[in-house]
Amino acid sequence: MKRLLLLGLAFLLVQAAPKTGFIDRSISYIHKGESKIGLTLDGGFWFASFAVGASKNLSLLFDSGSADVVLNTGNYRPSSASIGLSAVGQLSYGTTQSNGCGSSSINATEYLDQIGSVVACLDNSSIPHDGIVGFAGQIVSGFNSTPFFHTLCNEKKTKECRFGVSLGTKGKGEVALGFVDKSKFKGSLTTTPVIGEWFLNGDIAVNNKIVSKDALIELDTGPISVVQQIFEATGIQGIMVNEAGCLPTLVGYYPCNEPPVVGYSFPPESTLANQTVGVSKRSSIFNIPVEAFKFKDNGNNNCTAIVSGQDFNNSLTPDLWVVGHPFFQTHYIDFNVGEETVGLAKLA
């Protein structure tokens, strides 16, 4: 649920056993085990076209922070292979609005169909368009089911168990399934290990200098939130605001003609001496593109930043940085499930 499950903290009160399935999607195949999906930006979320069961041309929110295929009420038409699993529960999502606020609870039931697990909403939900397709790991699956992309890998539908995301600045993007799309970038990928899908450690950089080390970062195709100290380092004016449906949020403002340069360095410096095979031996800084740093122009050379400080009330991850799609723009990001790494490069 690309934005809707920004934090990747969806949970379900009822669990079902993991399962596998078959593929039934609207995807352009390039080679055997290699394919591309087109993405379109609408209302702050990225969407792609999928077929689920007997339902065709569904516009699903692409989300690297959740793991389930969730369809809004009335959108799921079972195929002849569909099996009702009698698992009913409640899915809870955070950051359901494009500004990072909002939450939603959805009553849903689970089916096993050609793409694997399908969760159909039983009542009205706030997921935009037709539903959501999650690309994170089973640990964040509401029904503890095998995630959609893992199903592709398990059934050898992908050449490699990896997918690459490239989001442009003009509302168009792509997801490469099963391979690294080298046409999207020059040089090689900077690779760094992940803690889980898709959490990793990195250093925080301001104006290309490291200001904070070993931050816990989640790469999610949703909005971006950062910890408070970044405001002190950049000179951004931080104002605490309370919006409906939102945790108390530190909103950042800066002169529009002088945007700070904020980025993330991978792999973190503290781990360079102990890196394993397949992980880069040198750190590289990847900045939020300047053109994406502005959330809103307030006039009089005052702009609202796309970074914000928020307390997620999670004792396990008190300093979690949720890095959303503004960072993805101008970068190619390879999510390698098989090697448990993330690779980054600047788009060509």
Burial of residue 229 (CB within 10 Å: 0-12, 13-18, 19+) is middle
pLDDT digits (tens, 9 = 90+) for 300-313: 999 988 887 766 55
- pLDDT at position 295: 86
Question: Are 154 and 204 part of one and the same domain?
Answer: no
Asked if pLDDT for residue 173 goes beyond 70, the answer is yes
More confident residue, 222 or 328: 328
Q: With bands split at pLDDT 50, 70 and 90, how would you rate the model's confidence at 241?
A: confident
* pLDDT (0 to 100) of residue 163: 98
pLDDT score at 22: 31
Residue-level pLDDT at 97: 61
Please report whether residue 103 resides in a domain: yes
Two tokens, residue 247: 């945790």
155 plus 195 within the same structural domain: no
Residues 241, 153: one domain? Answer: no
126 and 267, same domain (yes or no): no
Cβ atoms of 327 and 288 within 8 Å: the answer is yes
Domain assignment present for residue 143? The answer is yes
Q: Tell me whether strands 131-134 and 69-71 are parallel, antiparallel or unpaired.
A: antiparallel
Report the chain's C-alpha Rg in angstroms: 19
Q: Which of 22-31, 135-144, 179-188 has the lowest mean pLDDT?
A: 22-31
Picking from 180, 206, 222, the residue at the C-terminal end of a domain is 180
Instruction: Render pLDDT for 7-49 as a digit per residue (tens, 0 to 9).
Output: 232 222 223 333 333 333 444 555 677 899 999 999 888 999 9
Q: What is the mean pLDDT of residues 82-97?
A: 68
Place of tokens 């950049």: 234
pLDDT at residue number 150 = 92
Please check whether residue 47 is in contact with residue 39, taking contact to mean a CB–CB distance below 8 angstroms.
Answer: yes
Nearest to residue 174, comparing CAs of 183, 164, 160?
164
pLDDT at 50 over 60: yes
In a domain, 15, yes or no: no
Is the per-residue pLDDT at 159 higher than 90?
yes
Mean pLDDT of 60-82: 87
Angle of CA points 150, 221, 52, to nearest 5°? 45
123 confidence band (pLDDT: 50, 70, 90): confident
Regarding predicted confidence, which is higher, 19 or 282? Answer: 282
| pLDDT of res. 318 | 59
Whether 93 has a pLDDT exceeding 60, the answer reads yes
pLDDT at res. 331 = 96
Say if residue 199 is in the same domain as residue 135: no
Is residue 227 in a domain? Answer: yes
Other beta carbons less than 10 A from residue 217's beta carbon: 27
* Res 83 pLDDT > 90: no
For residues 188 and 160, state if they share a domain.
no
Please compute the mean of the pLDDT values over residues 179-187 and round it to a whole number. 95
Asked if residue 201 and residue 339 are part of one domain, the reply reads yes
**CATH number of the domain residue 290 falls in:** 2.40.70.10
Mean pLDDT of the chain: 80
What is the tally of structural domains in the chain? 2
Which 3 state secondary structure label does DSSP give 25? coil
Whether residue 202 sits in one domain with residue 152? no
Q: Given 180, 210, 244, which residue is the final one in a domain?
A: 180
Average pLDDT, integer, range 71-93: 78
Query: Which is higher by pLDDT, 65 or 122?
Result: 65
The answer to whether position 3 is within a domain reads no
Would the pLDDT of 233 be above 80?
no
| Residues 146, 207 within the same domain | no
Answer whether residue 7 is part of any domain: no
Residue 281 forms part of a structural domain: yes
Mean pLDDT of 317-326: 78
Give the residue from 18, 13, 24 showing the smallest Cα distance to 138.
Answer: 18
The string of DSSP letters for 202-234 reads EEEEETTEEEEEEEEEEE-SS--B--THHHHHH
Is the bond preceding 46 in cis, omega lying within 30 degrees of 0?
Answer: no
Asked if 95 and 144 sit in the same domain, the reply is: yes
* Owner of token pair 């359901």: 96
Give the Cβ contact number of residue 319 at 10 Å. 15
Looking at the structure, tell me whether residues 249 and 153 fall in a common domain: no
Domain boundary among 180, 206, 223: 180
Say which amino acid occupies 146.
Answer: T
Residue 89, domain member (yes or no): yes
Q: What is the pLDDT of residue 11?
A: 26
Residue 228, domain extent: 184-346
Taking 80 as the threshold, does the pLDDT of residue 219 lie above it?
Answer: yes
Tell me the C-alpha distance between 133 and 126, whole Å: 15
Taking the mean position of all CA atoms in its chain, how far away is CA 263? 17
| Coil vs helix vs strand at 153 | helix
Say if residue 176 is in the same domain as residue 206: no
